[in-house]
Structures are given as C-alpha cells and as structure tokens.
Structure 1
Amino acid sequence: MNLVLADVQQDALDKTVAEMQAAGAQVLAMKVDVSKADQVEALGAATLERFGAPHFVFNNAGVGAGGLVWENTAKDWEWVIGVNLMGVAHGVRVFTPMMLAAAKADPAYQGHIVNTASMAGLLNAPNMGIYNVSKHAVVAMSETLYQDLALVTDQISASVLCPFFVPTGISQSHRNRPAEFTAADEKPTQSQLIGQAMSDKAVGSGKVTAAEVAQKVFDAIAANKFYIYSHPKAIGSVQTRLEDVLQARNPTDPFAHKPELGVELRKALRA
C-alpha cells in the first residue's frame, strides 16, 4: 500500500508514519498547512512524482472557533475558513485533475474523493457560527464536485463525511493556530469560553471512535454512497431543519429535545 500523509502537527505526523510503516506501507509524509495553496500544490507534486495519481483523496483537516457570531474577529474568520473551506478547495483543485488524467489514460483506474464536513454543515447550532458556515460550504462544494465529476467521468466519484461528536482533537484545535491569526492581547469572550467548554464536553463524551468512523467511510466508498454519517440518529435534526425551510417557518429551537441545555446556555450568556 502506498500512503501519502499530511499534517500541520509534526509529532502526530511522525507517530502515524511509524505506525503505517510498521504495517508495511510505503509512506510519503509532509508537514502541510492546507490553508496555504503553495503547500498543498507541493504535496500534490510530490505525490505524483513518488506514487503517481492517488486513488483515494481524503480532505480531512479541520479547526473550530466558537462564540456568538458577531464576536468573532476577522482573524477568527480567516483561520477557520482558511483551513476548513480553502483546505478542502485546495485539495480538490490539486488532486482532481491528476485523478482525471489517470482515468483518461487507464480505463481500469478508479478514484474517490472524500471531503470531511460535519453535522454542522447540515444544521446551524448557535454559538458556533464560523464553524457552521465553513462546514455548510464544504457540503455545498462536495455536492457540486459529485455532480461535476458525473458530467465528465464514470471512474471517479466523491462523498462528504458529516461526523457528529467524535472524540478527536478537534475541540483543542487552537493548539495549532498560527501566530499570524492570533493577537497577543486578544482574550476570548464569555461566549467563546462557554462554547469551548461545551465543545470539550460534547467531543470528549463521544461514543463513536475515529476508527469506527474511518470504517464507515470505506464502507460508503465501496457502496458508492455520497452522504456519510457517524451518527445516523442525528439525521432527525436535519429533517426538522429542512421542514423549517420548506414550510418557511422560523428555525426550530435547537434545544427542543434537551431544553435544560438551552436554559443553561441562555442564562450563562445573559449573566
């Protein structure tokens, strides 16, 4: 197996490389900030030189920044949109053409692109506006990618992964926030502190592991499914949102199923 790995965090990258090499994989690893177009382009060039066009591409990088939407700074927006949206866009832009070229050259070639969005790309929970915006955009990009690929080839397709709360490092993504997006005197607002605490609790208590989600992804690729969910039971909230849209009714209270959470959040924010 040939494997290309990219991560902004060197220690995590080194650990994964060691694990994959021990399992017998040939590995190309690069430290990459996916928000930087030139770094993703360099990754693509190195991939093509070492292994040729990839068969699977997983655009999976993501960061989070919570808080009331008007309290987020321009730097917050630049950081989150840069990683969550432009990181996926760069991956699609760099790797899709080489996959299409491989498909044209070899009728037996098959490829698949998976973009990681979130259930936040299908819902709009309060106090996490930037994240919602970025993930809705990834869903839109992925749906368009699926349709665009279907116009030009039967050999390559795409999926979008919409995980719910999975215990990963996403709630601590600020550990990798570049200095260029951080002001020395900037302090988190009350809403951001509350959002961070809620995110830590929700992510930390997740019962579905990252490994289980990965298996769901490969199962979906094999079945050529576009929408991939880590928590299918969460789809009920998506249905409610779509019914709101279709019936032109005001957005349903996101805490209707657990009103005590809404009471707690409103009380904290209005204190």
Structure 2
Amino acid sequence: MHDLEHKVAVITGAAGGIGRGMAETFAGAGMRVVLSDVEEAALRSTTAELRADGAEVHAVVADVSVADDVSSLAESVLRKYGAVHVLCNNAGVHTGSRPSWQSTLDDWAWILGVNLMGVVHGTRVFLPVMIEQNEDAHIVNTASMAGLLTGGSLYGATKTAVVSLSETVHLELVEGGWKPRISVLCPGLVDTRIYLSGRNRPSRFPDVGPTPSGWSVDEARRAFKEYGVAPRVVGEQVLQAIREERFYVLTHPEYGEHIQHRTRQILAGENPTLLPPPGA
C-alpha cells in the first residue's frame, strides 16, 4: 500500500503511547486519522494537539472489549469519511500476578477482553468493509515481543493469540485473493504508560490479583523511560511495513537471539528456559 495521502486510518488506544506515535506518523504522511480510546480526557487532549499541528483528526471514545462500541466506532468513521484504509488494532493493557495462577478471573476477563477480543472485534467489523471497498487497505495488530517469547504470563498469552490470529488472517486474505493486507506489530520495550493500565480498568472487574513481589510503579516508570524506544519511532516502522506490505514488524532486532533460542528448544523437544534480556 503506497499511496497513503488522504487515506483514512483508524487507531485504537490512540490517546497515548504507540497509538499516538502511529497517529503522528500517519498524519505526517498526509492521512486522515481517526483516534479512538477509552480514556476520554486523554483522547480530547491528544486530538487537540494533533489538530494544532495541522492534522485532520476525528475522535471517537470506545472500549474495544465491547463489541457494540467497536461497531459504533466503524459507523462513525464511515459517516465521517465513507471509507477506511488502515486499521490499527492497538489498544492494550497489562495486568496479572506472578505466579500466574494467583491472577483473578477478573484479571483474565479484562486482559483478554482488551488485548485479544479488541483485535477480534476490530477485524470482524472493519475487514469486511475493507474487502467490499475493493482497494488497497491494511490492518496492523499490535502484539508484543512477549507474543514470540517464553514466560509472558497473562499478557504474553494474549499477545501470542494475536500473533496466531494475525497469521491466519494473512493466509486467508492471500488465499482468497482479497486486496487488504495485514501486519503484526511485536515491539520490545517502548516508552509508554502501559504499566499504569489499572487507571482504565472498568469497575465491572473489581477483583485484582496480588501485585508481583519486587514490582513498583516508580521502577517501571524509570525502566520504560530509560530503556524504551520512543512511540514515534515505532510509528515510523509501522508506516514502512504498511508501504512494504510486510507482515512481521519487529521493532527490537536485538531480540532475534531470544526468538531463535525458543525455536531451537521447541524443535529439540527441550523444556523452556529464558535467556537474559538484551544488554543485561
């Protein structure tokens, strides 16, 4: 997909982090950008800032874990622009305890609802529209390096599912001869506030599992700031993948050894082990 000027991009989880990085990048490429997020105040602020920079932006509050919200998002986009060319199923949260079996069913319901079902809802609603348009279009599903490696707990389980689902949709689109293409984004550490996901946790999931020992917000904030890449950098990588119709978007090549390690253990029938993080 090469001609992006004036095309319509829809991004969930767009009020901050990777979603905002993609929005800034797409706007810079001349696209019309639809921002969606569950965090209304942050969405208003991001929308105003992008418009002040000259971007054409439309904002819609939506909880991607709720199918009706995603359907309403699509209706709003089509009323406003009449088409959608890029969909970024990006909204995500992090929760859960270690050991993982101490996580509550509410922990599981919330993280599965956003990280996995959010992708399912977006794909089910928008992909038929893209196919019906019969023109170039692209979906980007935000997974994680945790979806390719061992030991990601609840978060990794959801992101592994996103990788698998995205691979399936890719094959189905190619085999069916349909024009839309798809990418799966698997970032390493990015300078976002996902460690503060609880700020958007719905009241319908009140039962929170115990905090993992040794974890603190201050330490997480420091690590994400010190070692995380800028969201705009990830946005630029996503834009390039869309232009190249490239499926896997790996933002941190230094994790290649870790992916190879896991693959070798699978093929050798070995029990899983972890390598130290890159740079450790």
Question: What is the TM-score with the length of structure 1 in the denominator?
Answer: 0.85
Query: Of the candidates 102, 125, 128, which is equivalent to residue 97 of structure 1?
Result: 128
Q: Distance in 2 between matches of 1:156 and 1:256?
A: 36
Q: Percent identity?
A: 41
1:267 — aligned with what? Answer: none
User: In structure 2, what residue type is equivalent to 1:101?
Assistant: E
**Higher relative contact order (Cα pairs below 8 Å, separated by 6+ residues):** 2
Question: What is the TM-score with the length of structure 2 in the denominator?
Answer: 0.83
Aligned length: 249
Q: Please say if residues 34 and 87 of structure 1, whose CA atoms lie closer than 8 Å, have aligned partners that are also in contact.
A: yes
Deviation at residue 30 of structure 1 after TM alignment: 1.1
Deviation at residue 114 of structure 1 after TM alignment: 0.2
Q: Distance in 1 between matches of 2:125 and 2:41?
A: 25
Evaluate the alpha carbon distance shift between residue 56 and residue 74 of structure 1 in structure 2; reply closer, same or farther with a 3 A threshold: same
Deviation at residue 2 of structure 1 after TM alignment: 2.2
Query: Of the candidates 80, 86, 93, which is equivalent to residue 117 of structure 2?
Result: 86
2:142 — aligned with what? Answer: 116
Deviation at residue 190 of structure 1 after TM alignment: 5.1
Deviation at residue 257 of structure 1 after TM alignment: 7.2
Corresponding position: 1:220 with 2:241: yes
Q: 1:180 is paired with a residue of what secondary structure?
A: coil
User: In structure 2, what residue type is equivalent to 1:65?
Assistant: T
For residues 1-271 of structure 1, the aligned pairs below 5 Å read 1-67=31-97, 68-103=99-134, 109-125=135-151, 128-183=152-207, 188-189=209-210, 191=212, 194=215, 199-255=220-276
Q: Distance in 2 between matches of 1:207 and 1:257?
A: 13
Q: 1:228 is paired with a residue of what secondary structure?
A: strand
Deviation at residue 11 of structure 1 after TM alignment: 1.8
1:266 — aligned with what? Answer: none
Provide Cα deviations, 1:162-193, integer angstroms capped at 9, x if missing partner: 0111010111111111111114xx5x525266
Q: 1:28 is paired with a residue of what secondary structure?
A: strand
Evaluate the alpha carbon distance shift between residue 190 and residue 8 of structure 1 in structure 2; reply closer, same or farther with a 3 A threshold: closer
Q: Distance in 2 between matches of 1:158 and 1:140?
A: 12
How well do the aligned residues superpose, as a CA RMSD in angstroms? 2.1
User: In structure 1, what residue type is equivalent to 2:33?
Assistant: L
Evaluate the alpha carbon distance shift between residue 256 and residue 64 of structure 1 in structure 2; reply closer, same or farther with a 3 A threshold: closer
Stretches of structure 2 that go unaligned for 5 or more consecutive residues are 1-30
Deviation at residue 118 of structure 1 after TM alignment: 0.2
Name the larger-Rg structure.
1
Q: Distance in 1 between matches of 2:162 and 2:277?
A: 27
Q: Distance in 1 between matches of 2:233 and 2:119?
A: 22
Deviation at residue 229 of structure 1 after TM alignment: 1.2
User: In structure 2, what residue type is equivalent to 1:97?
Assistant: P
Q: 2:140 is paired with a residue of what secondary structure?
A: strand
Q: Please say if residues 95 and 111 of structure 2, whose CA atoms lie closer than 8 Å, have aligned partners that are also in contact.
A: yes
